[in-house]
Amino acid sequence: MIRPSARPSPCENMNHRRANSPVSHCPQCGGVVNAQLSSPPCNDAKHAASRRQRSAFCVDCGAQLIVVR
């Protein structure tokens, strides 16, 4: 189901439009897309795996993983 957002997001990731997003933060902009999800604490190994998948932000904690130049 796609929900209308209260404020439009400049990010094109579809998680912003989903009512039941499977991740708590957007991998492209780091914004919160589902604040109701709880996840285990992140660690460097998990962040390294996300970097290899070319995620700019962690989907669990929202930390910036890749610096855009």
The CA-CA-CA angle for residues 16, 12, 57, to 5°, reads: 75
Query: How many residues are recorded in the chain?
Result: 69
CB-side neighbour CA atoms (13 Å) of 32? 5
* Tokens 């709880």, residue located: 38
Query: Which has more confidence, 16 or 6?
Result: 16
Amino acid letter, residue 42: C
Q: How far apart are CA 66 and CA 19, in angstroms?
A: 27
Summarised one tens digit per residue, pLDDT across range 46-67 is 999 999 999 999 999 999 998 8
pLDDT tens digits, one per residue of 15-32? 999 989 999 999 999 999
Residue 2, pLDDT > 80, answer no
